[in-house]
Amino acid sequence: MSCDSPETKWSTTERDILEATYKALLKHGYAEISITSIGDEFDKSKSSIYHHYDTKTDLLTALLEFTVDQFMSRIETNPKRCPGEELDNFLEQLLTPDPAEELQLQTVLVCFRSQAVTNPDIRAQFTQVDERLAATLQEIITRGIKNGVFRDVDVSQVTEHLLAMANGVITTRLTTNREGVSSIARESVVSYVESELKQSS
């Protein structure tokens, strides 16, 4: 995955095509999306799509990378902020996306994540996403331990626990109609951080 920013990594035409693909995926889902449905969301000639992407698979692969770039650029961190506040903010962005645009980003990613079971290229992308999120969590927790904000815990174990819980909340919210479950799960994550990680005042 490139380290270029989402603004500079893609040409204007590529962004237009990928944004049209993004809209089509939200409307039709991964299984039903087609070049025709993408073209319906694209205000230029459909030939432009084939000029940049040889196949639908190539286009969807690019869309996943594009969406990951957008998603990760919205996960704000600030190493100068108190680690406790930084962790709360980080988890809030994952568990309570707002506005609707960020929820749509997560929706597209969940559509793709289901394909990672059998698609090694998509699996590799999500491996990198989770590794980047885990690295951020580890940095915050390690800094918090050093500053006396967090208890002296097993950083890797706590990181994987929090990441698994966050991924579970995201998937449950977007793939079921169980009202209120996501809020309960989110409160469980907050309770875990308060009781098991943060030092008592």
pLDDT single digits (tens) 126-158? 999 999 999 999 999 999 999 999 999 999 999
pLDDT over threshold 70, residue 5: no
- pLDDT at position 7: 58
Q: What is the mean pLDDT of residues 31-40?
A: 92
Distance CA 181, CA 187 (A): 10
pLDDT tens-place string over residues 106-116: 899 999 998 99
Using left for φ > 0, alpha for ψ between -120 and 50, and beta otherwise, residue 148 falls in: left
pLDDT over threshold 80, residue 97: no
Q: What is the mean pLDDT of residues 44-50?
A: 86
Q: What is the mean pLDDT of residues 77-103?
A: 83
pLDDT over threshold 60, residue 2: no
CATH number of 74-197, picked from 1.10.275.10, 1.20.1440.20, 3.30.70.890, 1.10.357.10: 1.10.357.10
pLDDT over threshold 70, residue 4: no
Of 95, 114, 96, nearest to 30 by C-alpha is 114
CATH number of 9-63, picked from 1.10.287.110, 1.10.10.60, 3.40.190.10, 3.30.1130.10: 1.10.10.60
Of 43, 50, 45, 21, nearest to 34 by C-alpha is 21
Ranges for all domains in the chain classified under CATH 1.10.10.60: 9-63
Report residue 199's pLDDT band, with 50, 70 and 90 as the boundaries. Answer: confident
pLDDT over threshold 80, residue 101: no
